[in-house]
Structure 1
Amino acid sequence: MKMGDWLIFAIFALIMWGLWGFFPKLATNYISPKSALIFEVIGALVVGVVVLIVVGFKPEIHSKGITFALLTGIAGTLGALFFLYAISRGKASVVVTTTALYPIITIMLAFLILKEPVSLKQGVGMIFALTAIMLLSG
């Protein structure tokens, strides 16, 4: 796969996630985090239906794949709820920066469960990331 094959999608994801980190601050100025989560889920459902209809996608069926996909939805939705509570009480810049460090969890789980190596560079990056949280929240 060439760089251009994935880069445009990564840029679109970056933009969408940037908006995803910003819109909740506006939403929770007017409605509770629980209410915001319900409307966020409705928005996600709309995207899912559009993908199913417009693209003509038929989901694949595999018990382990479905289990992990459902766990992804549960973890993501609970994360979104906690994010909404955090952003309704804190500064968007600090909350978004803190929660954007989620790859640290992914790297640690990949190391412990999937036995993926952690490079010195990644280890130093995680230390810097944790230091950033302390500096931003202090």
Structure 2
Amino acid sequence: MSREWILPTLGAFISWGLWSFIPKITTQYIKPKSAIIYEVMGMMILGIIILFSLQFEVETHPKGILLAIITGILGFLGAFCFLNAVSKGPVTLVATVSALYPLVSVVLAILILGETLTVKQIIGVGLAVFAMILITA
């Protein structure tokens, strides 16, 4: 099996780890509604860089565009909810509980995409749920 997914996955791991920590400090200086605007500005900067790297030749497909826009809306909504949560609660709990969002992806992948889990993976998912219960209790 190809392991090409490992490096970008580690990149996401590190980026999202920092992404979930820095807002706790940010919201000590500005409110979540202001912070989200600056986060979007950061995304736009990277988006423009990627647009230039594509030489302004962006792929188009109506379903792909719609799904990408929905994904952007959901990402924004999640980030805004996270900013509000971390401004009111401890980053140790907010980051840990919200970082278990892949459980939603796993359930949807099984129900909609027909993906399967091995017994070991099912145990891992169960432990993640158990961890959430322990952390929030």
TM norm. shorter chain > 0.5 = yes
Aligned: 1:121 with 2:123? no
Query: What aligned pairs does 1:2-21 form with structure 2 within 5 A after superposition?
Result: 2-3=2-3, 5-21=4-20
Identity fraction in percent:
45
**How much does 1:57 deviate?**
4.9
**How much does 1:56 deviate?**
2.5
**What is the rounded CA distance, in whole Å, between the counterparts of 1:10 and 1:127 in structure 2?**
22
Query: What aligned pairs does 1:60-99 form with structure 2 within 5 A after superposition?
Result: 60-99=59-98
- Inter-CA distance 22–6: structure 2 relative to 1 (3 Å threshold): same
**What is the rounded CA distance, in whole Å, between the counterparts of 2:55 and 2:14 in structure 1?**
25
Runs of 4+ in 1 over 4 A off after TM superposition: none
Q: Who is 1:27 aligned against?
A: 26
Q: Secondary structure at the match of 1:118?
A: coil
Task: State the one-letter code of the partner of 1:38.
Answer: I
**How much does 1:73 deviate?**
0.4
* TM-score relative to the length of structure 1: 0.89
**What is the rounded CA distance, in whole Å, between the counterparts of 1:60 and 1:88 in structure 2?**
38
Q: Which runs of 5+ in 1 are unaligned?
A: none
